[in-house]
Every structure is written in C-alpha cells, then in structure tokens.
Structure 1
Amino acid sequence: MSVHTRQGRVQGLERDGCRQFLGIPYAAAPYPQHAFDPPRPLEPWDGVFEATAPGATAAHPHVAQELFPDPVVEGPNPLNLNVYAPADADGRHPVLVWLHGGGFFSGGNASPWYTGESFARDGIVLVVPNYRLAAEGFMLLDDGIANRALLDITMALQWVRDNIGAFGGDPANVTVAGQSAGATATLALSGCPGARGLFRRLAAMSAGTPLLSSLTRTQLLSEDFAALLGTPRTRSALTGAPVRKRLELEATWLPAEVRTPPADVGDRARRVRRESLRWQPTLDGTVVSASPHDALTAGTIDALMIGTTVEEWNFMLGQLEPAPSAEACRQGFANLGFTGQDLADYLSALATDNPGHALAQALTDRTFRTPARDLADAAAKAGIPTYAYQFAWPTPLFGAAHCADLPFVFDHLDAPGAADLLGPGAPAHLATALHEALVRFARDGSPGWSPYRTETRPVMVFDEEIREIPDALNLPPHQLRRA
C-alpha cells in the first residue's frame, strides 16, 4: 500500500482498518551537520520510502522518571511524522496534528501512547510529528534564529497542507492539539506569523506556565549553556561539539523532580520551583511575535479547547504519605511566591491537614489551572468559540495527575504501561467520552458541551460521572467530585 507525496512515494501498512505511515520525513536531516540550523526543505527521493516502522527521535538524554514510554530511536533525521488514516483514502477527513509532550527535553512520536488507530476508526486523520528538543530546539545563537522547534512544527504543518489530501485528509480542516509541552507549543503557534493559515483550531491539554520565555531569559540560559559546554555560541561550534558531551550537560539541566527524584518527601516539597524548565518557546519577536494571550485576544483561530487535569503535579511530588512537614511545605509555597497564609487557605479549601496535598494543589493551580482559565477568558472575550474541561478521574496512587488523561484521550487504556499509572479498572466509558470530545472538536469545532462564557465559566468535568460544572477551573478537586 503506497501513497504519492510531493517528495516521492511512501509505503505504509494497514491494520484493522487503519492505514499507518510511520517515520515519513518532512524536512531534510539535521544530523550531523545541521543540528542547530533552521529546518531545511526536503529533496525528492527516487523509489519508494518504507514508512512501516517509527523514524528517528530527536536527540535527548535519558529521563529517570518517565510518565509514559519514551523510546529513543537513533538516526540522522528526527524531523519525521507518523500518519494514521482511515482505510477510506478517497474521503476528505478532518486532520488532527498531535504535538507530543515531554517538557521540551524528551518525548517523540515513537511512543506507543501516541498511536492513532482510534482516531482513524472515528474518521480522523492523525498526524504526529517530531520536533527538535532542548538546546537544539530553543537555544539562542549568535548566528542563528530562535525557536527552531516551532519552525520544525511549522514545516510539518506545511507538509500536511501539501500532502495530507493523498492520505484522505482535508488540508482545509486542520486542528493542532497537544499535551503538556505539546500543549505549550500548540498555544505558541497562535502567535507565530509563519504558521498562520496552516490550521483552524487549537486544543491545549495541560499546558504549563510560563507559556513563553522572555528573550532575555533565553539569552542568559544560552550563554550559560555554551560556557558550560566550552564552545562559542554559534551554529558551527554547537554542531561540532560532541553529542555525548552535550547530552550529558542537558541531563544536568533536567528539572530536579525528573532527574533524580529524592526519596524524602520533605526534600521533594522544598525543591518545588516556579520555573523548573529551562528550554521552551521564546517570545523572540520574529518566529513568535505575540504571546498566546495577545494572539487569542486578536482572534487568530476559529476555536479553542483548553483544560487540565485537576491534580497535575501530584505525580511529580510523589507519594505524600506520611505527610511532609509544614516547614518543608512553607518553603515550597515561598518558592512559588505564596505566603504562610496561602498554605493555611489551601488546607482549609481542600479540607485536609496534609500540607503536602496543599502544596501539590497550589503548584497545579499556579502552573496549570489558573493560566488555562485566564486563556479561556481571553479567547471567549475575543469571540472565539471556546470549550473548557477538567479531567478529574483519580488514579489510585496520584489522583487526577499529569498525563493520567492521555490513555483516555487516545481511547487506548491498554497502551503499554498505562495500567502502571491508571491501576486496574479504568473506566472505559470515560475514555470513550474524552476521545469523542476531541474527535468532535477536530471534525466541526465543538466537543459537545456549552461554549465558555466569562459570566458563568461552564466547564465539562470528566470523571466517573461526566457533567458541566460552573467555574470548575477554580474549584478544588473534592468539590468537583461531589458538586
């Protein structure tokens, strides 16, 4: 089974009514000479490209604490994408471009959690591109351009525009969605002039703040990275540095909670920080010319779906029994810019005497839920049809934690490793509902519940019982579960 693209023919495979094309290059290979260059156009090839196995992933260090399987596939060209399409190649199916998570320091489209059989089954063409990570994706160079990762994604969207019709997709009906870092990149695209017209809608799931780094902050980080690596801050020098040495340095820059999670619960509480991620999209004025808030206020998209899990950071703080000390949690609160009174207020609002639970929820609210509510407010005020949600179903160990919603979004509860996070008996009806919401949004711009209004802030809450709750992005978890 082969398909003709503008660059040449690709050979895929078909399984259970889903046509799969894996590892299709959408830009020229960056490794080894062009790791820090902007993405370069792909030359046509002769013959047939075998798209039957995952392609290379972007170079990144091993992560000690993986939220989901993150296989690393070595090869010269990580700028590739996977296409999952219905067997009906003659249709004009809606297209969903999924941007993977991983904190901008890990992740890739080879993860078994990102396969698209369920979307193809439901009439959606799913495209999952890789993009460059960490310094390769975001470092500022003396002779280079910023936000190479977003330029990668933009080139992948151009590939979709030019080629997806051959796979049965409709290039005029493209939605970009992502989770975690992928959601942050999704929102950043709203302020990218080069990506205008390549998509209609955005679905941002668990985007963490700050959504963009300032140019000054990225400049300082880039200077520090080059100094520690012992190279000039130029494309040729960075590309010429040993990859092993660069990845070793990247590993030391990983957030503490994923690099070497401390066993002591008090240490975990004290190490909470506002900005744990170093590399991320930058408001550079050229590739990204507006913040997501300003871009949405200007009405740059047709529709927005946005939400979070209600207990995002429970996983990163880990088991909070026995409870950390109040002193350790007060330090964590102070790191977030909160006061001792804020700790007392969270303890009261959560109806708990465990200060660790209060810290985890404060971090979730500050980093995820409040920014999502603010963006929903901005988009709705601008007249963009906006749909907000909360994922509230509690996993046995960590509650409704970061990434717990992914197997439900993909209707893939039996994905490798999912049971380790979800435990036994994850509700299939919830997977059906959350997956169908994204399918409907990609198809016609409405996931199936009331549009967001700033007066009442209706939010769909996905739990054992699925229902709309006013202002759910501002309510503590236990109130959502009994409201």
Structure 2
Amino acid sequence: MSVNAPCGPIAGITRAADTAYLGIPYARAPYPTRAFDLPQPREPFTTCFKATGYGPSPAHPHVGQDLFPDPVIAGEDALNLNVHAPTRGDGPFPVVVWLYGGGFFTGSNASPWYDGASFARDGVVFVVPNYRVAAEGFMILDDGVANRALLDITAALTWVRDNIAAFGGDPANVTLAGQSAGATAALALTGVPAARGLFRRLAVMSAGTPLLTPLDRMKQLSADFADRLGIPPTRQALSATPTARRMALEQEWLPGEVRAPAESADDRARRAGRDALRWQPTLDGEVVTTAPEEALAEPGALDALLIGTTTQEWNFLLGDLSTAPSTDACLHGMANLGRTADDLATYLTELRSDNPGHALAQALTDRTFRCPARTIADTAARAGIPTHTYQFAWPAPHFGAAHCADLPFVFDHLDAPQAPQLLGPDAPQHLADRMHTALTRFAHGNSPGWSPYTADERRTMVFDQAPYECTDALAKTPNALRYSA
C-alpha cells in the first residue's frame, strides 16, 4: 500500500492488523560524516520510497543483556522512523509517538518489542523514531550544542506534524510516550521550546532519575571522552574518528549493571547507586530551558499525563536475586544511596525477606524510579493537569515486577521474541488486555480506566494478576501493596 505524503510517495507493507511503513528517513543521514551535526530536513522523495524493512540503527555499543532484542542495523540513514497505520476504520486517528529505552547508550526502533500493530488494530497511528544515543546524542563540542538526541526527537515530531495525515493520523492529537530512557526524554521535551505544540499528552513509563544532567557535568564528561580518544573536543575531530573506535570507548563507559560479562552478585551490590549514567539530557538553557519539575507546574502544559513504574525496577539490573548477595556487599550499596544498616533492616522487615539483595534492589527502585514518579505526578496534579498513575506489580519468574517486564503487556505482545523467557509460560493475557487498553484509551483522549490522581488522595492503578486501585501505591513496598488489594 502506498501513500502520497508531503515528504514524497511511500510504499509500506499491509499486514493483518496494520500497514507498516518502516525505516522512513525524517532527517538527513548522519553517517558517515555528520554523526555530530544537528538534524537537518531532507529533500522530498522524487521516487516512491520502499518502506518495507527496518532502517539503519544509531551507532551504539554492545550491551551485556539478554532481556529483549536490540538489533544493530548498519547504514547511513539512521534518523528514520516506523509508522504503523490502521487498515480499518475512519480517521483521522490519534497518534502515539513512542521513544525507546536503553539508558541513552543503546536502543533503536528495529526491536520487535516496539512493533505497533496492536495499536493500529485499535485505531491509533503508532510512530517509533530513532534518535542518536551516547556521545552522538549528548556530547557537547566546540559548537556548544547540547541534547542532539532531543533535537532528533523534535525533528521527528515535526515530521509527524507535517506528514502523519497522509497515514490517517491527526497531527493535532499526538501523545508522546516512552519507557525508561525514552520516558526520561519525553519528560525532558516538556522543557524544550522547539517541541511545544507538537504533542498534547505524555505517557511516561519507568523514567529514571536524575531527569537532567547539570551542564557543567556534561561539559566535563564531553572533555573526558575526547581526552580518552586523544583528540580535541571538536565536531570535526569527533566526526573524523572511526565509529568503531568511539564504540570501543562507549563500551568501557557502560554502567556496571549492563556491562558484559556480568559481574558477580556481590560486585553489583557494591556498585549499586555509584554508576550514574554518563549520557543524559542536559539543562543547557538553549535546547532545554526548563526542568520537567518546573515545566509541569505550569497549568495547561499538557492536556493529560499518564505516569508510573514497575514495583521492582532494579531487580533485573542487580541480576537474579535468588542467590543472595552478601549483607556486607548490600550495606556498601545502601551506603552509596546514603542509607544505613537500619534502613536495610527496615526494608527486609517490610518486604518480609531475609535476602539483603531484595532490600537493596527495592531501595534503588524507590529512589531512582518510584519516588520521582510520585513527585512528578504531584506537581502535574497540583497544576490542574489531568493525571493518572499506575504501578506494574505482576511478578515475572526470577526477576519479579522488574524493569521492562511491563513492555510486552503494554504492547499486547506477550509472545514477542524473548518475552516468554522473561515472563514465563503463564503471563496473563487479561492483564495485557487491560494495560494495552489503558494506553489506547489515553491516546484517544479518554481516561485510561481508573480514578484520576490528586496530590491529596493519590489514587493509583496497580496492575497485578487482579488489577485494583490503591491509595498512594508509589510509596508502598510490593509486599504492602499486596495487602492493600
């Protein structure tokens, strides 16, 4: 099936639930010589573009995880996007623009976990853009430009505004959504003047903190990276450095939790809270002028906000906790968080566990994900922004309700490649139905299906085997939540 868009004619693949248009370039090719340039508009296609296969991926290092597929596709046109359009029904349809996770050091839209067929089936045009990661996305060079990754996303949103009507989408009805680093990027976009008016709603899953890196820290990281490469911190020098050489250094700079080979349970526990992500959005004053906590305090900043986390985000990143790390190693990890032996004991009591790894993982989850989500929800609700919060609490085998375990449910794709290995054979389809419906309802401009969040009552949906509403779920341990059902 073909469409005639302002960017030119495009041919896609008609499937059972959608028409998929894959790998459409939305900006000029960054490779081989423009990896550190600002995204630039492309000339319209003069012949029909065959959008029948995933496009090239942004350059990123190998990550030592087998949680979900992260293919790397070589090629020049890495700034591309996928569109999944409904094949039935009358448009215009609401649009969801999905930002992938990966800690800002990995990720692409070629992962089969981000296939948007289920959303198209349910009357949503689903768009997944690539954006540059790691040094290419965030390093500050002699031109002084920060946040190229956010500029990439803004360029993709601009492409959506200008072209999505040709695919049946409503350019005035866009929800920006994402998970993990993608959620953090989505929040950062609330403080980007160039992105204002390009999306109406925000759906934020497992955004990690800090949401923004101080400008001085990013400048120092950038200088350190160039120094390690033995080159001046200039766009010309970085662009001339072979990609393989840069990726070797990116590999060394990976957080310990994801570096291959995996560290021992004790090593991971001792490093917990110490390995901050290096590459992240920066409050630079030009691209990002306002922190999310301030941007969302403005009445009318968004039409609506949906935000939540899993209850045990850090279980996966600390490894399989069925083998307990030592108490001594976990005390080191707690100290990295500014916590004490008494705090470790309190968590063990609240979790009804004798595994100190459980306590450390929960302390990390609360500090990095759940407490910040609660703060953002409070801020938005007090500003009068319609806000809904959730907690994903269904325990996958071995890792519990860990980081990324909710993605196959939201995409209604429990049989996605490698998902059965994570979720086991008994992942409940009814929970996928409920979570997927929540996001599609939200994209259509409706309530996701439970009570609004207020800063006084904090009503929250808990997605477990039997979903239920709970007061202030983001402040309760997983064990306490089960007693609130």
Shorter-chain TM range is over 0.9
What is the SS of the residue equivalent to 1:43?
coil
Q: Which residue in the other structure is 1:255 paired with? A: 255
Taking the aligned partners of 2:376 and 2:90, their CA distance within structure 1 comes to 38
Q: Which residue in the other structure is 2:269 paired with? A: 269
Q: Which residue in the other structure is 2:157 paired with? A: 157
- Letter of the 1:50 counterpart: K
> How do residues 50-199 of structure 1 correspond to structure 2 at under 5 angstroms?
50-88=50-88, 91-199=91-199
Taking the aligned partners of 2:275 and 2:384, their CA distance within structure 1 comes to 31
> How do residues 40-439 of structure 1 correspond to structure 2 at under 5 angstroms?
40-88=40-88, 91-260=91-260, 262-299=262-299, 300-439=301-440
What is the SS of the residue equivalent to 1:257?
coil
Taking the aligned partners of 2:383 and 2:361, their CA distance within structure 1 comes to 32
Taking the aligned partners of 2:268 and 2:101, their CA distance within structure 1 comes to 23
Q: Which residue in the other structure is 1:33 paired with? A: 33
CA distances 1:421-458 after superposition (whole Å, capped 9, x unpaired): 10111000000000000000110142111110111111
The structural deviation recorded for 1:336 is 1.4
What is the SS of the residue equivalent to 1:259?
coil
CA distances 1:381-425 after superposition (whole Å, capped 9, x unpaired): 011000000000000110000000000000000101101110111
TM-score, normalised to structure 1's length?
0.98
CA distances 1:356-377 after superposition (whole Å, capped 9, x unpaired): 1000000000000000001000
CA distances 1:200-238 after superposition (whole Å, capped 9, x unpaired): 000110000001100011011001000001111111110
Taking the aligned partners of 1:82 and 1:428, their CA distance within structure 2 comes to 26
Q: Which residue in the other structure is 1:482 paired with? A: 483
The structural deviation recorded for 1:66 is 3.6
- Letter of the 2:128 counterpart: V
Q: Which residue in the other structure is 2:444 paired with? A: 443
How many residue pairs end up in the alignment?
A: 483
Taking the aligned partners of 1:90 and 1:365, their CA distance within structure 2 comes to 43
The structural deviation recorded for 1:265 is 1.7
Taking the aligned partners of 1:64 and 1:17, their CA distance within structure 2 comes to 34
CA distances 1:183-216 after superposition (whole Å, capped 9, x unpaired): 0001001111000000000011000000110001
- Letter of the 1:412 counterpart: H
Taking the aligned partners of 1:402 and 1:137, their CA distance within structure 2 comes to 23
What is the SS of the residue equivalent to 2:23?
strand
Q: Which runs of 5+ in 2 are unaligned?
A: none
What is the SS of the residue equivalent to 1:20?
strand
Q: Which residue in the other structure is 2:469 paired with? A: 468
Contact 2:64–2:262, Cα closer than 8 Å, also in 1: no
CA distances 1:295-318 after superposition (whole Å, capped 9, x unpaired): 000131111000000000101111
Q: Which residue in the other structure is 1:452 paired with? A: 453
Contact 2:256–2:263, Cα closer than 8 Å, also in 1: no
Contact 1:17–1:87, Cα closer than 8 Å, also in 2: yes
What is the SS of the residue equivalent to 1:141?
coil
Contact 2:89–2:123, Cα closer than 8 Å, also in 1: no
Contact 2:190–2:292, Cα closer than 8 Å, also in 1: yes
CA distances 1:256-295 after superposition (whole Å, capped 9, x unpaired): 1111354532122111125521001000011101111000
Contact 1:70–1:108, Cα closer than 8 Å, also in 2: yes
- Letter of the 1:389 counterpart: Y
- Letter of the 1:230 counterpart: G
- Letter of the 2:176 counterpart: V
Q: Which residue in the other structure is 2:5 paired with? A: 5
The structural deviation recorded for 1:461 is 0.3
What is the SS of the residue equivalent to 1:379?
helix
What is the SS of the residue equivalent to 2:171?
strand
Contact 1:261–1:268, Cα closer than 8 Å, also in 2: no
TM-score, normalised to structure 2's length?
0.98
- Letter of the 1:248 counterpart: A
- Letter of the 1:115 counterpart: D
- Letter of the 1:223 counterpart: A
More displaced stretch, 40-49 vs 422-431: 40-49
Contact 2:3–2:10, Cα closer than 8 Å, also in 1: yes
Taking the aligned partners of 2:466 and 2:111, their CA distance within structure 1 comes to 30
Identity of aligned residues (%): 65
Specify whether residues 363 and 50 from structure 1 end up closer, same or farther in structure 2 by C-alpha distance, changes over 3 A only.
Answer: same
Taking the aligned partners of 2:264 and 2:237, their CA distance within structure 1 comes to 41
Taking the aligned partners of 2:54 and 2:459, their CA distance within structure 1 comes to 40
> What do you get for the CA RMSD once the two structures are aligned?
1.1
CA distances 1:12-68 after superposition (whole Å, capped 9, x unpaired): 010014111000010011111111011011112211100000001100111111431
The structural deviation recorded for 1:88 is 3.9
